[in-house]
Chains A and B, each alone.
Chain A
Amino acid sequence: MIITLFFIVLIAFVINFVVPGNPARTIAGPKASPEVIKAIEEKYDLNKPVYVQFEHYFVNLLHGDLGISYRTNETVNSELRTAFPKTMYLGFSVFFLNVLIGVPTGIYAAIKRSKFMDHVILISSLVGTSAPTFWIGYILLFIVGYKLSLLPIGGYGGISHVILPALTVSLASAAGYVRVVRTSMLEVLGTDYVRTAEAKGLSQSTVILKHAFRSSVIPLITYAGMDLGTLMGGLIVTEGIFGWPGIGQMAVTAINYQDMPTIMGVVLVAAVAVVIANFVVDIIYALVDPRISY
């Protein structure tokens, strides 16, 4: 886990370096004199060799210091502290919607296997996965926010503000949930122990919810874990569209300004979040499946 994170830092750092452009010039502005630029380079160590810069950055990182934003002169730590919870808020809303939409639809499709509604659901989920997030975002924004004026078209706030951006990300990823739930339910519905449950005289709903769904949750957890990275990407795009002041927006602005410490900070936090979430997934496994123990 620590090794993974180290390589993430290294790769992000190198990528930042090979991007053309001089950060010092960007910071100083287009009209700055060479002396000013030189001073800035001096201040941020930009004139030192790469490995020195990396070493410098890494030592600070170990102390929990992500550096100072070139653009705002605030510490990256404090900027992340305000932005990250907002992204989490959006992220959990997306997850909640995924489960809310994906699980019942998947179960329904499995029960109606090969019937008309099953095909309708499968085709819609295919559309959901294939459609780009920004496209879904703008469509929702245009229809629900602008034409119908049902919900605010952007900005940070309570439930009414979170619905549209969350739905945007969720429509794409819930489609995956639907298919995973459907597939694993179909598999479980064919097992011997579901037949045993039926032979006990349990009603169809008990068989499905108590016996079948519980075992089919395991592939869903796996999928949710693997989907986290994609989810993170979706969040960054969506925050941009809806002006959601999370780390996604922070990243977009930072990239425009070649604000390296901020970019690195965002990448790192996102990576840590995904790694931790995967760890949580492993723990949930053990809780859900008694056959797994650590």
Chain B
Amino acid sequence: MAEPILEVKDLRTYFYTEAGIVKAVNGVNFRLEKGQSLGVVGESGSGKSITALSVMGLIKPPGKVVSGEILLQGQNLLKKSRKELEKIRGNDIAMIFQDPMTSLNPVLRVGEQIAEAVVLHRKVKRKEGWNVALEMLKKVGIPEAEDRIRRFPHEMSGGMRQRVMIAIALSCNPKVLIADEPTTALDVTIQAQILDLIRLLQKDFETATIMITHDLGVVAEVCKNVMVMYAGQPVEYSDVTTVLEQPKHPYTWGLLSSLPKLNASEKQRLTPIDGMPPDLGNLPEGCAFAPRCPHKKPVCERQEPAGKWLNPGHFVRCHLYEA
């Protein structure tokens, strides 16, 4: 196995609210190699976005990373000072957020928003920063980039703004790119454009990508490996084909059978997952998915499954497979 660019070990991020401790991320492990793309799939409250923000070092009180290691090329980010993290953020690890309508500063020109990151990390003059910004805008496929660079975000459509976000993220050639639901707020035809762009840039920049999404279709489009999360924990991890075609975890089964199929010729009734996701401030004993699981055994409600590698590339956290 190649040396990973990013490795996360037993990450736990809790929120200390008045109602109690919310265990948003509760023991996440994964590794990411150069140029690789990892999809993180889960529903709201599964901890996928909090995992990303923890890696970025952007968890704010009352949230706190309580344990674990985040190793960027072997260096633990959780041990870094604020100053050291500022040098890494935007430079080695960059992030794209969900809503392009609100993620850009409305009172700053688009060019400035890209250039400032370049000026900061590459220690160049402002003019040079703007040159890089122009080059980036062209790379992400913005027409009339010379004109657009001087515009404000509100003068652009959602798809264009998300391209600008991508330009910002890739402007310093990061080693890791985290995209948090980058196409969820966009229409399908625009989503297709953006996913195409992300795929193209992945090849171009050889950036390792973490794609956070609730949409298994998006994962199939751009990811090599998939981690399925539930209640703050990874429940299944494998390559994308295995997860979509031979999943082992009952939650993954449930997710897939909940989706209406576009290519089904006959109308089939959907099979939803019963019940609701658990309250992260008050997790059930045993497996967090047990209350909704149609395959649960007595042990599931008593003891948390430790998780098992079925083969070197396929991890499942479920009592069905524990010896």
A and B, direct touch (CB closer than 8 Å): yes
> With A199-B95, A215-B107 in contact, do A290 and B154 touch (Cβ < 8 Å)?
yes
B117 near A200 with CB under 8 A, answer yes
Task: Please encode chain B, from 285 to 309, with 1 for each CB lying within 8 Å of some chain A CB and 0 for all others.
Answer: 0000000000000000000000000
A200 near B120 with CB under 8 A, answer yes
A290 near B58 with CB under 8 A, answer no
B117 near A201 with CB under 8 A, answer yes
> With A192-B97, A290-B152, A291-B152 in contact, do A199 and B89 touch (Cβ < 8 Å)?
yes
Give the distance in Å from the alpha carbon of A239 to the alpha carbon of B314 in the complex: 81
Of B98-106, B137-145, B249-257, the one touching chain A: B98-106
Give the distance in Å from the alpha carbon of A162 to the alpha carbon of B29 in the complex: 65
A290 near B106 with CB under 8 A, answer yes
For chain A, give the interface size range: 20 to 34
> With A192-B103, A193-B105, A288-B107 in contact, do A198 and B165 touch (Cβ < 8 Å)?
no
Give the distance in Å from the alpha carbon of A201 to the alpha carbon of B168 in the complex: 12
Contact partners of A198 in chain B: CB under 8 A: 58, 89
Give the distance in Å from the alpha carbon of A291 to the alpha carbon of B155 in the complex: 8
Task: Please encode chain A, from 269 to 290, with 1 for each CB lying within 8 Å of some chain B CB and 0 for all others.
Answer: 0000000000000000000111
A191, A198, A201, most chain B CB atoms within 10 A: A201
B11 within 8 A of A: no
> With A201-B117, A290-B152, A291-B152 in contact, do A196 and B86 touch (Cβ < 8 Å)?
no
Count residues on chain B whose CB falls below 8 Å from chain A CBs.
30
- Residue positions of B touching A, CB distance < 8 A: 56, 58, 82, 85-91, 94-95, 97, 99, 102-108, 113, 116-117, 120-121, 152, 154, 165, 168
A211 within 8 A of B: yes
Nearest chain A residue, comparing its CB with the CB of B95: A199
8 Å CB contact of A200 from B85, B89, B102, B106? B89
Task: Return A193 CB to nearest CB of chain B, in Å.
Answer: 4
13 A-B contacts (beta carbon < 8 Å): A193-B103, A199-B90, A199-B95, A199-B97, A200-B89, A200-B94, A200-B168, A201-B90, A210-B108, A210-B116, A215-B106, A290-B106, A290-B154
- Residue positions of A touching B, CB distance < 8 A: 191-193, 195-204, 206, 210-211, 214-215, 288-291
Give the distance in Å from the alpha carbon of A136 to the alpha carbon of B114 in the complex: 49
Contact partners of A288 in chain B: CB under 8 A: 107
Contact partners of A193 in chain B: CB under 8 A: 102-106
Contact partners of B154 in chain A: CB under 8 A: 290-291
A206, A289, A290, most chain B CB atoms within 10 A: A290
Query: Which are the 8 A-B pairs with shortest beta-carbon distances?
Result: A201-B90, A201-B89, A200-B90, A192-B102, A290-B152, A200-B117, A193-B105, A192-B103
Q: List 17 extra interface pairs beyond A200-B120, A214-B108, CB under 8 A.
A: A192-B102, A193-B104, A196-B103, A196-B165, A197-B105, A198-B89, A199-B94, A201-B89, A201-B121, A202-B116, A202-B120, A211-B108, A214-B105, A215-B105, A215-B106, A289-B107, A291-B154
Task: Return B229 CB to nearest CB of chain A, in Å.
Answer: 21
Contact partners of B102 in chain A: CB under 8 A: 191-193
8 Å CB contact of A211 from B86, B91, B105? B105
Give the distance in Å from the alpha carbon of A261 to the alpha carbon of B90 in the complex: 66
A195 near B97 with CB under 8 A, answer yes
